[in-house]
Structure 1
Amino acid sequence: MKITFFSHSTCLLKIHEKYLLIDPFFSKNPIYNKIDYLEYINNFKKIDYILLTHAHYDHVCDVELLTRKFNNVLVISNYEISNYFEKKGIKTYGINYGSFISFPFGKLKYIWAAHSSVFNDGTYGGNPGGFLLHTDEGNLYISGDTSLIYEMNIIPNFGKLKLSILPIGGRYTMDIEEAIIASDFLKCEKILGVHYNTFEAIQINKKQAKKNFYEKGKELILLEMGKSIYI
């Protein structure tokens, strides 16, 4: 499995020949200027699925742009978000907290998150969540925007995780220390940090953050924009 990080919470997963884009945030992202974000989007050769954790603009703002570019994209999210985009003519697959669901790339389960979820136009965005992804290349937890929640203890019961993608910027989500506790709950030693340094309110010291994880016997991976890891 190849994971490419684009800033904030936007990641692209390549599982065999399937491409899953998580929470696309390019056009309104303060890190990118117009040329930058269009260059990234134009470099996408293929997107098969878009996974949306919740309805905030910094996670959904480029869904319509990308589904116009890639006509056969399937948007997977909670029931309310799926309905919202389906009314715009976008192909969706609505889910909620419940069982695993099989897709060509593996099994997907919508997981609890403690956050909020509303579109910029005021439309209710349903329950915020994350995704538990089980594949023959390993298991991945994508928490979405969340605070530390005790329910994370349940997740290892479904299978050993190779990697967890957790927010670490604080204020609106977990911070560094809470993400370390979350990694204990998840029984996962390797964390990809997201949702940091995009805005002034969620700035972190990257060197100190890595040190804090290391001192607890964990690895915090902080990728530069456009860089990838394999798990």
Structure 2
Amino acid sequence: MKKFRLAIIFTLLLTFGLVSFANAAVVNKQDNNVQWLGHSATLITTEKGLDVFIDPWITDNPKCPVTKENINPDLILVTHNHFDHMGTDVPYFVEKNPNCIVVVHNDVVSALNEMGITEKNIVSYGMGLNYGGQAELEGIKITMVQAIHNPSAAGYIIELEDGTTIYHAGDTGIFAGMELLGNLYDIDLALLPTGSTFVMNPFQAAHSLKLLKPKKVIPIHYGTFEVLVQDATEFVKLSKKIAPNVKIEVLKPGGSLRL
């Protein structure tokens, strides 16, 4: 009976224009959007419209379907300073958006300085982060975690404004600490390299899902060069057997996933 009375009141409000579906739609939250731009490059657009760009290799990236002019990041996260992750476009993005903050490992700060990026645009007053360090920028919590690759390689746990948690592994092999990450964080989406040679192969990447326990996964870092695994077929096949509860989202470069 109470629900019936509420329905009548709401109908009357609609009738006299005191409330409308149009106005109600304005306050509905927007989805978070994750766009894979080939290799490791990933653009996250949050529900509040902030752009977080991870591994901003655009120019000379053979798999990237957009140009740097199409992107205007508020935050840039670099997993390490190899050419296929840091790229050469960071100065362009900082000039385009003078308030852009770049998050890097402390040992990579000097490489940014050589590109002309000063402490104003580098996290932690120009000092960078190290493993376990966290920065809260524009309401987004960014935690640097280890990656098994070169000495200053990192991954990131990214907690968006609404609590959605994304793990971008950067370049890494499988490591036991992934289980700890899976216990510490309720990971909604993991982006994992699957291309072998320099990173996890499909077998290791599939087993890492058992450790991380994400709800969804996007395979990345494959198919860019001949030396890498060329597609996600084996990863998908193995993951369905090893971690059947994880939803696998295979994207084409430029493809998006809404969270």
- Answer yes or no: same fold by TM over 0.5: yes
Interval containing the TM-score (normalised by the shorter chain):
0.7 to 0.9
Which moves more between the two structures, 203-212 or 69-78? 203-212
Quote the Cα distance in structure 2 between the aligned partners of 1:59 and 1:225.
Answer: 15
Q: SS at 1:95's partner residue?
A: coil
Q: SS at 1:153's partner residue?
A: helix
Whichever residue aligns with residue 187 of structure 1, its letter is: K
Cα deviations by residue, 1:67-107 (Å, 9 ceiling, x for unpaired): 23333211111112224314513411111112432222321
Residue equivalent to 1:31: 63
Summarize the Cα distance change of 1:205–1:17 in structure 2 as closer, same or farther, 3 Å threshold.
Answer: closer
Given the alignment, which residue of 211, 218, 222 partners 2:250?
222
Whichever residue aligns with residue 115 of structure 1, its letter is: H
Residue equivalent to 2:24: none
Whichever residue aligns with residue 109 of structure 2, its letter is: S
Quote the Cα distance in structure 2 between the aligned partners of 1:31 and 1:99.
Answer: 32
Q: Is this contact kept in 2: 1:169–1:195, CA < 8 A? A: yes
Residue equivalent to 1:123: none
Residue identity over aligned pairs, in percent, reads: 25
Quote the Cα distance in structure 2 between the aligned partners of 1:157 and 1:214.
Answer: 21
Summarize the Cα distance change of 1:60–1:205 in structure 2 as closer, same or farther, 3 Å threshold.
Answer: closer
Q: SS at 1:13's partner residue?
A: strand
Given the alignment, which residue of 110, 124, 140 partners 2:144?
110
Whichever residue aligns with residue 106 of structure 1, its letter is: I
**Structure 1 gaps, min length 5:** 117-125
- For these two proteins, the number of residue pairs brought into alignment is 216
TM-score, with length taken from structure 1: 0.86
Is residue 2:200 matched to residue 1:174?
Answer: yes
Over the aligned positions, Cα root-mean-square deviation in angstroms equals 1.8
Residue equivalent to 1:194: 220
Q: SS at 1:201's partner residue?
A: coil
Give the CA deviation at 1:189: 4.1
TM-score, with length taken from structure 2: 0.77
Flag the structure with higher strand content.
Answer: 1
Residue equivalent to 1:122: none
Give the CA deviation at 1:176: 0.9
Q: Is this contact kept in 2: 1:3–1:14, CA < 8 A? A: yes
